[in-house]
Structure 1
Amino acid sequence: MADYYFSVDISQQQFLQYYRGNITSVMVNTECGRSMEIDASHFRSFVSAYGVVGRFRITLDNNNRLIDLEEVG
């Protein structure tokens, strides 16, 4: 398993594109320099009036499948 940290700042208006079906994934750059494409549905529980804003940790298994995504501050 591996943990990666990244920050996201997606406005509520931008994230509406997910609900409209115009986007399906979010591209992030981790703090260690790795680029990742994460299914936008994993961010649903983090949407607020400001959109999706914060620092996150993603945990992947040995096959790079998502185990957990959590906001860490």
Structure 2
Amino acid sequence: MANQYIRFKLALSYDQYLAVYQGVAKTVTTVADDGRRIVFPAGNVQRYLTKAGIQGHFEMELTAQNKFIGIKKLG
């Protein structure tokens, strides 16, 4: 079975993401382009954090068994 790819948009402010460092938030919840609600560890998008927060369209790759492989920013 092939890997799954889930596309989604994020628009988190720097302060919203800062809650992760303060231990208030541990996960990111968003709605994928196909309508599925997805939840994943906030650390998976940490490398995309800028002073503006985390903004953009992303693609998450999972194995056929739903094991996380990675997230990349699109465009």
Task: Sort the TM-score into its range (normalised by shorter chain).
Answer: over 0.9
| Gap regions ≥5 residues in structure 1 | none
| Gap regions ≥5 residues in structure 2 | none
Q: Pick one of 16, 36, 41 that aligns with 1:39.
A: 41
CA deviation map 1:6-38 (0-9, x unaligned): 000000011000000100000011111111101
CA deviation map 1:14-66 (0-9, x unaligned): 10000001000000111111111010011110000100000000001122121
TM-score, normalised relative to structure 2: 0.93
1:23 matches 2:25: yes
Q: What is the rounded CA distance, in whole Å, between the counterparts of 1:33 and 1:45 in structure 2? A: 25
TM-score, normalised relative to structure 1: 0.95
Q: Which residue does 1:62 correspond to in 2?
A: 64
Percent identical pairs in the alignment equals 23
Match of 2:67, as an amino acid? R
